[in-house]
Amino acid sequence: MSEAFDVAIVGAGHGGAACAASLRQQGFAGSIGLIGDEAELPYERPPLSKEYLSGEKPFDRILIRPAAFWQDRAVTLLAGERVTAVEASERSLTTVSGRKIGYGSLVWAAGGRARRLTCDGHDLGGVHTIRTRADVDRLISELPAIRQVVIVGGGYIGLEAAAVLAKAGKRVVLLEALDRVLARVAAEPLSRFYEGEHRAHGVDLRVSTGVDGIVGLQGVASAVRLADGEAVAADAVIVGIGILPEVEPLLRAGALGGNGVAVDGHCRTSLEAVYALGDCAAFASRFADGAVLRIESVQNANDQAAHVAACILGKSPVPYGATPWFWSHQYDLKLQTVGLSVGYDDVAVRGAAADRSFSLVYGRGGRIVALDCVNRTRDYVQGRKLVEAGAVFDRARLEDGDAPLNTYLSDTEDDV
């Protein structure tokens, strides 16, 4: 074995970096190796589709910590090393360069890779994803020559990129295969609001629109061919259709899972001394009535990282159950989400979308389970307590936008 660490962490994104930092913060004195497949210091991903793409923040301002932080805490950074195999029986890893790394405990925080189109032309030049610094740097280098960009996918990445590029004066066409944007994560009122906002900012946003292929000219994308045969001109194409969890080496080693690696309430996989956290970890969430899912958010990665660090230190915390939250910035709109709306069966609307300040309160089984708050921070802060308490869903009272949600909690908490 060429080298070994008491704790080896695979993945140098939010979760991996937070786990290394939390281990030291909680008093871990053993050796830590933080292994990342990018050549960069650990950095924040959310700004990639917002402030970094727009040029508002240079790269050094999106670093999670400066280089000195890791040096001072004796965290060994192994950058540009992709782990290709796990030998659970001998507690070792193999990287693509042939490096063999031993571990006492393994934390798998490898996140995911951008899902790509599989149609004709998907591999042409000028077809981009937004997942890594290198992805965005390539796009930025091409921006001066780009007049029209076609974005495939109406999720948060696609919408955020559309907002940045529209503000930069580019013509933007956004294509969503489903009948509304954000269809997988939000109720229709939020979808329609964001569709209207983007169109008001000049985005040619089309729903129920499938992509049949990408047309190239001299090896570079020049148009996107739609399912109905129309060709939409494109100087660049951005694909934002989700991620694929990076778990193949763990699954080949015998870990249970599929769409992510399965973990228990303490983020333990089925392999001895192997934990997983963040975007790639599938677990039963109490905020989704026990449904097994992956939560792709910085909050979840950071909170699971602290939980795993405590488990490694033998502190035996209660099972993981941090409250999920998320945010998105588009134009001058700040969306804050708390809870999980998956499986919702009712929605109350507080305020008016026309005022560009409103909230959706989601109900499931008669209880409040999530909120989406647009430019309405007070609802987000107070609504979090309703979600955590599982407060009774009362549409009439919730839709009284002038009544603070904290009074609603005080009146209903005896019922929960």
pLDDT tens digit string along 187-204?
999 999 999 999 999 999
CA 381, 341, 108: angle at the middle one, nearest 5? 90
**pTM of the complete model:** 0.95
The pLDDT score that the predictor gives to residue 411 is: 57
Q: What is the pLDDT of residues 213-226, one digit of tens each?
A: 999 999 999 999 99
The pLDDT score that the predictor gives to residue 1 is: 59
Q: In three state form, how does the secondary structure of 77-125 look? A: EECCCCEEEEECCCCEEEECCCCEEEEEEEEECCCEEECCCCCECCCCE
* Average of per-residue pLDDT across 150-159: 97
Pairing of strands 171-175, 148-152: parallel
Residue 2: band (very low, low, confident or very high) from pLDDT cuts 50, 70, 90: confident
Q: What percent of the chain has pLDDT over 90?
A: 95
Q: What is the pLDDT of residues 296-352, one digit of tens each?
A: 999 999 999 999 999 999 997 799 999 999 999 999 999 999 999 999 999 999 999
The pLDDT score that the predictor gives to residue 416 is: 39
Phi (first) and psi of residue 296, to 5 degrees: -95, 85
Fold classified for 332-415:
Enolase-like; domain 1 (3.30.390)
The pLDDT score that the predictor gives to residue 414 is: 47
The pLDDT score that the predictor gives to residue 410 is: 63
CATH number of the structural domain 116-239: 3.50.50.60
Domain definitions of the chain by residue range: 3-113+243-312, 116-239, 332-415
The yes-or-no answer to whether 3-113+243-312 and 116-239 have a common fold is: yes
Q: What percent of the chain has pLDDT over 70?
A: 98
Please name the amino acid found at residue 205. Answer: L
Q: Which CATH number fits domain 3-113+243-312: 1.10.10.10, 3.50.50.60, 3.30.300.180, 1.20.120.1200?
A: 3.50.50.60
The pLDDT score that the predictor gives to residue 415 is: 45
* Average of per-residue pLDDT across 72-79: 97
